[in-house]
Amino acid sequence: MEVDSDADSKFGETTRSFVSWFLALPGATFRSDLITVEDLRNRGAGRGIVARQDIAADTPLFSIPRNTIICAATSTLRDRIPAIFDLGDDGAGLSDSGDEDESNSSSQDSWTLLILILIYEYLRGDASPWKQYLDVLPSSFDTPMFWSPAELSELQASAVVAKVGKEDADRMITSKILSVVRAHEDVFFPCARDRLGDTQLLELAHRMGSAIMAYAFDLEKDDENEEVNEEDEWVEDRAGKTMLGMVPMADTLNADAEFNAHINHGEDALTATTLRAIKAGEEILNYYGPLSSAELLRRYGYVTAKHSRYDVVELPWDLVEMELRERVVGRTAPSDWEKIDQLTRSDEDFEESIVLERWTEDPDSAGQLSSAAVFTGLPDELAEQFKVFLKAAKKVANIELAVHAMSDKDMRKDLYLQVVLGALQAREREYATSLEDDERLLNEGGLMGRHEMAVWVRRGEKQLLREAQSWVRREAQELRNKASDGTTTDDGPAAKKRRL
Ligand SMILES: C[S@@+](CC[C@H](N)C(=O)[O-])C[C@H]1O[C@@H](n2cnc3c(N)ncnc32)[C@H](O)[C@@H]1O
The predicted-structure confidence for 12-21, as pLDDT tens digits, reads as follows 999 999 999 9
Nearest to 114 by CA among 165, 74, 79: 74
pLDDT at 234: 38
Position in ligand 1 atom list of the atom nearest CA 252: 4
- In tens, the pLDDT along 278-330 reads 999 999 999 999 999 999 999 999 999 999 999 999 999 999 999 988 887 56
- One domain for residues 186 and 323: no
pLDDT at 336: 86
Average confidence (pLDDT) over 123-134 = 97
pLDDT at 330: 60
CA of residue 255 to ligand 1 center, whole Å: 7
- Residue 416: pLDDT over 70: yes
CA distance 33 to 29: 12
Is 316 within the bounds of a domain?
A: yes
- One domain for residues 289 and 367: no
Mark which of 270, 300, 330 sits at the end of a domain.
300
Instruction: Report the percentage of the chain scoring pLDDT > 70.
Output: 86
> Which of the listed residues 254, 258, 303, 307 should we mutate to test ligand 1's pocket, taking the one with most ligand atoms within 8 A of CB?
254
If one counts every other C-beta atom within 10 angstroms of the C-beta of residue 398, the result is 11
CA of residue 203 to ligand 1 center, whole Å: 21
CA of residue 284 to ligand 1 center, whole Å: 12
Q: Which residues pair with 38 in a beta bridge?
A: 48
pLDDT band at residue 374, thresholds of 50, 70 and 90?
A: very high
User: Whole-number mean pLDDT of the chain?
Assistant: 88
How far lies 486's CA from each of 223, 374, 415, 474, 494, in Å?
Answer: 57, 31, 18, 18, 9
Whether the complex's predicted ipTM is more than 0.90 is answered with yes
pLDDT at 285: 98
- Residue 92: pLDDT over 70: no
- One domain for residues 470 and 342: yes
- In tens, the pLDDT along 5-63 reads 787 889 999 999 999 999 999 999 999 999 999 999 999 999 999 999 999 999 999 99
CA distance 351 to 5: 53
Is 498 within the bounds of a domain?
A: no
Is 112 within the bounds of a domain?
A: yes
- One domain for residues 148 and 196: yes
Residue 441 backbone phi and psi in degrees, to 5 = -55, -45
Mark which of 261, 277, 300 sits at the end of a domain.
300
Cα–chain-centroid distance for residue 447?
23
Position in ligand 1 atom list of the atom nearest CA 44: 21
Is 305 within the bounds of a domain?
A: no
- Say which amino acid occupies 466: R
pLDDT at 329: 58
- In tens, the pLDDT along 165-203 reads 899 999 999 999 999 999 999 999 998 889 999 999 999
- One domain for residues 316 and 293: no
Beta strands (DSSP E) in 277-408 are: 285-286, 312-316, 353-357
pLDDT band at residue 405, thresholds of 50, 70 and 90?
A: very low
CA of residue 410 to ligand 1 center, whole Å: 50
How many residues are there in the chain?
Answer: 500
**Which of helix, strand or coil describes residue 63?**
strand
- In tens, the pLDDT along 210-241 reads 999 999 999 875 544 444 443 333 334 443 34
pLDDT at 49: 98
Nearest to 210 by CA among 124, 160, 143: 143
- One domain for residues 243 and 332: no
CA atoms within 13 A on the CB side of 147: 24
Which residues have C-beta atoms less than 6 Å from ligand 1? 44-48, 214-215, 251-252, 254-256, 300-302, 304
Domain housing 200:
2-300
Is 48 within the bounds of a domain?
A: yes
How far lies 8's CA from each of 2, 61, 115, 440, in Å?
Answer: 10, 27, 28, 34
Ligand 1 atom 23 nearest Cα: 45
Position in ligand 1 atom list of the atom nearest CA 251: 1
Ligand 1 atom 20 nearest Cα: 45
CA of residue 258 to ligand 1 center, whole Å: 15
- One domain for residues 26 and 72: yes
pLDDT at 96: 42
CATH number at residue 274: 3.90.1410.10
- One domain for residues 343 and 290: no
The C-alpha torsion from 148 through 150 and 152 to 157, rounded to 10°, is: 160
> Which of the listed residues 302, 306, 450, 452 should we mutate to test ligand 1's pocket, taking the one with most ligand atoms within 8 A of CB?
302
- One domain for residues 321 and 254: no
212 burial (CB, 10 Å; 0-12 / 13-18 / 19+) is buried
Residue 49 backbone phi and psi in degrees, to 5 = -115, 130
- One domain for residues 274 and 353: no
Rounded to the nearest 10 degrees, the angle between the axes of helix 334-345 and helix 380-397 is 140
CATH number at residue 409: 3.90.1420.10
For the beta sheet containing 60-65, the strands, ordered from the edge strand earlier in sequence to the opposite edge, are 29-30, 60-65, 269-274, 261-265
Is 148 within the bounds of a domain?
A: yes
- Residue 277: pLDDT over 60: yes
- One domain for residues 90 and 212: yes
| Residues 483/186, Cβ–Cβ less than 8 Å | no
pLDDT band at residue 332, thresholds of 50, 70 and 90?
A: confident
Domain total in the chain? 2
Is 495 within the bounds of a domain?
A: no
Mark which of 238, 266, 300 sits at the end of a domain.
300
Position in ligand 1 atom list of the atom nearest CA 47: 8
Instruction: Report the percentage of the chain scoring pLDDT > 90.
Output: 76
- One domain for residues 248 and 320: no
Position in ligand 1 atom list of the atom nearest CA 48: 6
Is 214 within the bounds of a domain?
A: yes
